[in-house]
């Protein structure tokens, strides 16, 4: 099943902003906290080829960080990416 995955840290304002935006869309987010887990941080780096948080995946699509997510929203491209997730949960 496709899902939204966000690698994050507890005190990152960009992580909080991404969480708010995605939550406002009605999707559940599987948050993977990487701030105290070196192995999870390395997993995030391998999956995303980036070293900053958040790193967001919608299904198999690597969205990137909060700025990338906000740009998708601004350009009207976020809702189509999320549509299969919303349809599968009955929202």
Count up the domains in the chain and report the number.
1
Q: What band does 35 get if pLDDT is binned at 50, 70 and 90?
A: very high
Average pLDDT, integer, range 26-47: 97
Q: Domain of 55: which CATH number? A: 3.40.30.10
Domain that holds residue 67: 4-88
For residue 2, what pLDDT is reported?
A: 82
Q: Identify the three-state secondary structure at position 56.
A: strand
Segment 41-55, tens digit of pLDDT: 999 999 999 999 999
> Could you give the 3-state DSSP secondary structure of residue 70?
helix
Instruction: List the beta bridge partners of residue 61.
Output: 58
What was the pLDDT predicted at 87?
Answer: 78
pTM for the model: 0.93
């Amino acid at each position: 099943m496709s899902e939204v995955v966000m690698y994050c840290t507890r005190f990152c304002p960009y992580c909080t902003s991404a969480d708010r935006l995605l939550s406002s869309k009605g999707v559940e987010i599987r948050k993977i906290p990487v701030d105290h887990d070196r192995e999870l941080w390395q997993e995030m780096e391998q999956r995303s080829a980036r070293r900053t948080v958040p790193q967001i995946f919608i299904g198999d699509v690597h969205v990137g960080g909060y700025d990338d997510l906000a740009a998708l929203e601004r350009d009207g491209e976020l809702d189509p990416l999320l549509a299969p997730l919303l349809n599968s949960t009955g929202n």
